[in-house]
């Protein structure tokens, strides 16, 4: 019987995972150290030549040491456009760790992007901007790094996470779909099309090659389809573009005055097509945010915009005039509801980061972190005094950029101006968001309600799986949708959950403005979890002894809150509520330490949900010292003895006594045979479907005791099909069916 239980909770990751997420290489509270060593004494001249003559394809090999970890023969080149200068010592770097050594990486990262902070006396524009952006859409992480070349300090750089296959895999769970960067081979300004997504180069997708860099193997037809459907307006493009993500990108660029983007010369962004078939815009190159870039606003100030003018940059300026088409903005903003959603996103960014002064506090923290490194950077482009002053005040610039606005002065004026615009205020108020029943059943109605004041239209956006598409339906205040009385300001709508989650948000608007709840929707949303049912969470493995433990596995593709669940040897008992109030991530494990709680002589275990339904139960016999009891195959197979895999994937079962275990089955390159043996030989013969032996192996063992042996058998020579595998061990012959794929 399960007795007094002391709980120690552990969460374990199943399957492959990124070490970068564990170590957080881009933690903004750290300053990384990157050392490059070139064999060539004229390395700077070589890098200059490669940049001018070879572009992205030319790289110089060098050894790279990152925080003490050495990586040989990385590919190194300069990067950038306005930030590169052959006469400067401190140029920006692009480092490919796997350039010569396949799969070489640092904590999961194969590329380093080091920016030289040439257009930012404050040093914090890029890191601060990415921190803000990540609240609203998938964006790179960024921090700082001191760069040394051949043991000479070059200076303090910003270290920005690359937007690559690792990035898309982390945010969309895939990396092979169509993937582009808005980066023309030659920048045309002020009137050039560049990467503006306009239908301007004919009906052949090849006409768009000079304006976009394809990061995937294929995809030009997908990009052309996006461009052609965008040309027809938001109603046509919704199936191939994540419109809400585009609105967030525009809102971010407009609030933070990041004009070196789609706004100014229509460049510096990525597009990744997710598994739903929609392109997702991704921000890139934020080193000239907060008004540092003022060469063009894409509109009437196409030859340059002053600091006073940029403070009052109209977020809808391109609707009146654009030096070249900007359909990713104008086509979307032509829709009244999308325009109000856009302003709702602007309001959220302002409210959460600027109106409350949080940006200035955070900028000061970042400057305090890097203060000594900036002082030691003798190759910086501005004085140490400018470094401190630019957080508040305008300081002089270099080259075409004559001055850089003080971040605090700029943003205080910016939010004061935005507050005067129609659509920025006067929005409906959404509160008291709730749902009934509290624990809905799959395929049964769930009512979602909210109090909404000052609204003429209310919409419920919902989906039933993470990463899926949101559908939108109208909410009603008619007394027929669990919304109370007609006209009482309570709006309701019904959904019927089809999966393991309901994810939703609410949008409301009136004649003036719109509002979301939660405010960061669609990037953030409310989540309702339907009742956990049999098969959703399983008793995957347990172990007896002085340190007994039970392992639960979430078999679904959604996070599951197991609050209220209990473990017991008697499902009718209300005692022994030992499952903690926590969330088990999709396909992940919850490990519960239960000292002396499981009988070594056998018994049963039952996992019961909050409604008293048995979710999983197992019966077990005499336990074996040094072994655990677990499901094999992992998550769904029968219980068998195995070597403990505490909080991890059950790799194999152990078969005591006669017979053998064959895994994996079906197999491919190799299979494993687990069998109890003392000494002598293990003869393995594989027969094809005609009964002809196609593989014959003999393995010899010497031992003084019975032991469980796992023998790997190479089957790479076999073609796909069904075989019979026969094992002869110590005079006993046993056969099993083997499938090769």
Note the pLDDT tens digit of each residue in 198-247: 999 999 999 999 999 999 999 999 999 999 999 999 989 999 999 999 99
4, pLDDT greater than 60: no
- With a pLDDT cut of 90, the percent of the chain lying above it is 74
Strand order in the sheet with 490-495: 429-436, 446-453, 490-495
pLDDT at 2: 41
Are 477 and 487 contacting, i.e. CB atoms less than 8 angstroms apart? yes
pLDDT at 20: 33
pLDDT category of residue 397 using cuts at 50, 70 and 90: low
Within the chain, all domains assigned CATH 2.60.40.1260 are found at 1-14+531-650
Are 392 and 385 contacting, i.e. CB atoms less than 8 angstroms apart? no
Distance CA(334)–CA(568), nearest Å, equals 60
How much is the mean pLDDT over the chain?
Answer: 90
Show Cβ contacts of residue 450 under 8 Å, excluding neighbours closer than 6 positions.
430, 431, 432, 433, 434, 458, 475, 490, 491, 506, 517
Are 172 and 163 contacting, i.e. CB atoms less than 8 angstroms apart? no
- What 3-state DSSP class applies to 685? strand
- Looking from the CA of 186 toward its CB, the CA atoms found within 13 Å total 3
Mean pLDDT score, 513-525: 98
The dotted CATH code for 429-522 is: 2.60.40.10
pTM: 0.84
Are 597 and 616 contacting, i.e. CB atoms less than 8 angstroms apart? no
- List the structure tokens of 537: 């969470």
425, pLDDT greater than 90: yes
Backbone angles phi, psi at 674, to 5 degrees: -110, 130
Within the chain, all domains assigned CATH 2.60.40.10 are found at 429-522
Tell me which of 353 and 546 has the higher pLDDT.
353
Tell me which of 48 and 572 has the higher pLDDT.
48
pLDDT category of residue 652 using cuts at 50, 70 and 90: low
Mean pLDDT score, 177-183: 97
Distance CA(209)–CA(207), nearest Å, equals 6
Mean pLDDT score, 425-431: 98
List the one residue out of 56, 229, 50, 42 whose CA is nearest residue 150.
42
pLDDT at 223: 97
User: How many C-beta atoms lie closer than 10 Å to residue 545's C-beta?
Assistant: 14
54, pLDDT greater than 70: no
Tell me which of 504 and 600 has the higher pLDDT.
504
pLDDT category of residue 16 using cuts at 50, 70 and 90: very low
pLDDT at 707: 58
Classify domain 655-741 by CATH architecture: Sandwich (2.60)
Token look-up 């508040």 returns 392
Top-ranked range on mean pLDDT: pick from 418-432, 544-558, 644-658: 418-432
Distance CA(162)–CA(140), nearest Å, equals 7
Distances (CA, A) of 182 to 6, 299, 355, 713: 56, 19, 32, 50
User: How many C-beta atoms lie closer than 10 Å to residue 134's C-beta?
Assistant: 15
pLDDT at 675: 79
Give the residues across from 141 on adjacent strands: none
Show Cβ contacts of residue 77 under 8 Å, excluding neighbours closer than 6 positions.
47, 50, 51, 54, 56, 58, 59, 60, 93, 94
pLDDT tens column, 623-641: 877 788 999 889 988 888 8
- With a pLDDT cut of 70, the percent of the chain lying above it is 92
Are 340 and 516 contacting, i.e. CB atoms less than 8 angstroms apart? no
The dotted CATH code for 1-14+531-650 is: 2.60.40.1260
- What 3-state DSSP class applies to 206? helix
Show Cβ contacts of residue 102 under 8 Å, excluding neighbours closer than 6 positions.
none
Sheet strands (E) in 471-588: 471-474, 490-495, 502-509, 514-517, 526-528, 537-543, 549-554, 560-561, 566-568, 583-584
pLDDT at 53: 81
Distance CA(245)–CA(82), nearest Å, equals 28
Tell me which of 701 and 571 has the higher pLDDT.
701
pLDDT tens column, 316-364: 999 999 999 999 999 999 999 999 999 999 999 999 999 999 999 999 9
- List the structure tokens of 45: 């001249």
pLDDT at 661: 76
Are 585 and 573 contacting, i.e. CB atoms less than 8 angstroms apart? no
pLDDT tens column, 85-141: 888 999 999 999 999 999 999 999 999 999 999 999 999 999 999 999 999 999 999
Distance CA(727)–CA(683), nearest Å, equals 6
pLDDT at 160: 97
Burial class (CB within 10 angstroms; exposed 0-12, middle 13-18, buried 19+) of 159: buried
- List the structure tokens of 99: 């350039």
pLDDT at 63: 98
pLDDT tens column, 469-503: 999 999 999 999 999 999 999 999 999 999 899 99
pLDDT category of residue 573 using cuts at 50, 70 and 90: low
Question: Assign residue 238 a region: left if phi > 0, alpha if psi is -120 to 50, beta otherwise?
Answer: alpha
- List the structure tokens of 682: 């293990």
Within the chain, all domains assigned CATH 2.60.40.2550 are found at 655-741
- Asked which of 372-386, 401-415, 418-432 is least confident by mean pLDDT, the reply is 401-415
pLDDT tens column, 673-716: 877 776 678 899 999 988 899 999 998 877 655 556 778 899 99
- What 3-state DSSP class applies to 150? coil
Backbone angles phi, psi at 327, to 5 degrees: -65, -25
pLDDT at 706: 53
Q: Give the strand pairing for 680-687 and 721-729.
A: antiparallel
Show Cβ contacts of residue 360 under 8 Å, excluding neighbours closer than 6 positions.
391, 407, 408, 411
């Amino acid at each position: 019987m399960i007795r007094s239980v002391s709980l120690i909770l552990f969460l374990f990751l199943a399957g492959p995972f990124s070490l970068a997420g564990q170590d957080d290489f881009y933690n903004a509270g750290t300053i990384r150290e990157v050392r490059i060593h070139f064999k060539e004494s004229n390395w700077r001249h070589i890098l200059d030549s490669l940049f001018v003559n070879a572009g992205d394809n030319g790289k110089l090999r060098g050894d790279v040491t990152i925080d003490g970890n050495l990586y040989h023969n990385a590919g190194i080149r300069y990067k950038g456009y306005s930030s590169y200068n052959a006469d400067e010592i401190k140029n920006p770097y692009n480092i490919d760790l796997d350039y010569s050594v396949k799969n070489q990486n640092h904590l999961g990262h194969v590329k380093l992007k080091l920016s030289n902070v040439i257009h930012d006396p404050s040093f914090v524009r890029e890191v601060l901007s990415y921190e803000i952006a990540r609240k609203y859409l998938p964006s790179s992480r960024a921090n700082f790094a001191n760069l040394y070349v051949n043991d000479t300090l070059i200076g303090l750089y910003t270290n920005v996470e690359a937007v690559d296959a690792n990035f898309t895999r982390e945010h969309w769970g895939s990396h092979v779909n169509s993937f582009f960067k808005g980066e023309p081979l030659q920048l045309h300004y002020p009137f050039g099309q560049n990467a503006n997504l306009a239908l301007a180069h004919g009906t052949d997708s090849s006409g768009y090659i000079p304006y976009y860099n394809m990061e995937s193997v294929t995809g030009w037809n997908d990009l052309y389809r996006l461009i052609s459907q965008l040309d027809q307006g938001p109603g046509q493009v919704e199936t191939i573009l994540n419109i809400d993500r585009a609105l967030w990108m525009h809102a971010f660029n407009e609030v933070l005055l990041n004009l070196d983007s789609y706004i100014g010369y229509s460049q510096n962004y990525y597009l990744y097509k997710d598994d739903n078939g929609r392109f997702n815009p991704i921000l890139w190159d934020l080193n000239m945010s907060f008004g540092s870039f003022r060469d063009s606003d894409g509109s009437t100030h196409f030859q340059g915009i002053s600091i006073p003018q940029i403070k009052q940059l109209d977020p809808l300026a391109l609707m009146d005039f654009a030096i070249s088409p900007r359909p990713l903005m104008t086509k979307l903003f032509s829709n009244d509801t999308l325009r109000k959603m856009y302003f709702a996103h602007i309001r959220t960014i302002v409210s959460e980061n600027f109106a409350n002064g949080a940006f200035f506090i955070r900028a000061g923290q970042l400057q305090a972190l890097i203060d000594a490194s900036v002082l030691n950077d003798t190759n910086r482009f501005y004085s140490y005094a400018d470094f401190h002053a630019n957080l508040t005040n305008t300081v002089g610039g270099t080259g075409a950029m004559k001055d850089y606005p003080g971040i605090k002065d700029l943003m205080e004026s910016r939010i004061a101006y935005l507050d005067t615009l129609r659509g920025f205020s006067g929005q409906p108020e959404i509160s008291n968001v709730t749902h009934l029943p509290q624990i809905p059943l799959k395929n049964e109605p769930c009512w979602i309600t909210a109090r909404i004041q000052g609204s003429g239209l209310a919409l419920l956006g919902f989906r039933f799986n993470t990463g899926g598409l949101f559908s939108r339906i109208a909410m009603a205040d008619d007394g027929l949708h669990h919304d109370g009385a007609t006209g009482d300001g309570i709006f309701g709508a019904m959904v019927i959950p089809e999966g393991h989650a309901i994810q939703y948000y609410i949008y409301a608007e009136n004649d003036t403005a719109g509002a979301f709840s939660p405010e960061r929707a669609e990037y953030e949303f409310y989540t309702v979890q339907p009742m956990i049912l049999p098969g959703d969470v399983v008793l995957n493995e347990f172990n007896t002894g002085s340190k007994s433990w039970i392992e639960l596995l979430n078999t679904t593709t959604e996070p599951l809150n197991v609050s209220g669940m209990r473990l017991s040897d008697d499902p009718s008992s209300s005692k022994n509520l030992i499952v903690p109030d926590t969330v088990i991530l999709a396909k992940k494990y919850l490990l519960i330490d239960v000292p002396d709680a499981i009988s070594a002589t056998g018994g049963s275990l039952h996992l019961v949900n909050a409604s008293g339904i048995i979710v999983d139960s197992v019966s077990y016999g005499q336990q074996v010292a040094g072994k655990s009891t677990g499901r094999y195959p992992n998550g769904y197979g029968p219980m068998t003895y195995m070597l403990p895999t505490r909080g991890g994937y059950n790799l194999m079962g152990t078969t005591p006594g006669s017979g053998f275990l064959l895994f994996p089955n079906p197999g491919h390159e190799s299979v494993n045979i687990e069998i109890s043996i003392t000494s002598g030989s293990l003869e393995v013969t594989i027969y094809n479907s005609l009964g002809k032996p196609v593989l014959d192996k003999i393995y010899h063992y010497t031992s003084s005791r019975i032991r469980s042996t796992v023998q790997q058998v190479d089957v790479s020579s076999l073609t796909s099909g069904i075989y019979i595998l026969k094992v002869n061990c110590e005079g006993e012959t046993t056969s099993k069916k083997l499938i090769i794929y």
